[in-house]
Amino acid sequence: MSNKDGLSVTRQADRLAMASRLEQLLTRCGAGFERHAGGVYPGPKCIRFSIEAARGLCVGVSFDGDSWQPNTYVLSWHMKLGSTDELNEVTFGGSVNSFHRQKATYVAHGFADLCQQLEQGLSLATEGEGISGAKRSDRSLTGVFSFEHEFPFTPAVRNGLRGFLMRGRNVKA
């Protein structure tokens, strides 16, 4: 697929320009983000953004100069750990996980497509159209899975796991 915008992650100047434009987009959309560049993580030729939008919707974006598929971006949208909200597959689009509906994947080809898909996903989160309250009643305190329904552990093991998962949180296990 051709790169219509002419920017490429394989060129350092382009990576810096794309990172700057992405920061502007995220600020305009009201999303929080962290930018990591160089070093061991995310790598010497990589700029990585960890993005959090409204209602706990998260996604990561990497401009990796060593990518095996340059200018192809896999957007792995997911709800923040502990959230009971779900992605609405009708309005959110992408490939929404049909079991828990808390993850969706979309592949963007080129920087322009990346920006368009990010802006669409972030606006759906802000407007509340792409996210709905959880419909499942069997979620545990972690919001990730229910011990009782998905794992046949003994009560002692179940309580130990619950304590381990809740460690460091202000929630009683």
The domain segmentation of the chain, as residue ranges, is: 12-132, 137-173
- What is the predicted pLDDT for the residue at 89? 79
| 3's tokens | 């790169």
Fold of 12-132: Aspartate Aminotransferase, domain 1 (3.90.1150)
- pLDDT, one tens digit per residue, over 90-104 is 777 768 888 888 898
Q: Which residues contact 30 (CB under 8 A, 6 or more apart)?
A: 53, 54, 122, 126
* 8 A C-beta contact, residue 66 and residue 42: no
Cα–Cα distance between 125 and 110 in angstroms, integer? 23
Q: Which pTM was predicted?
A: 0.72
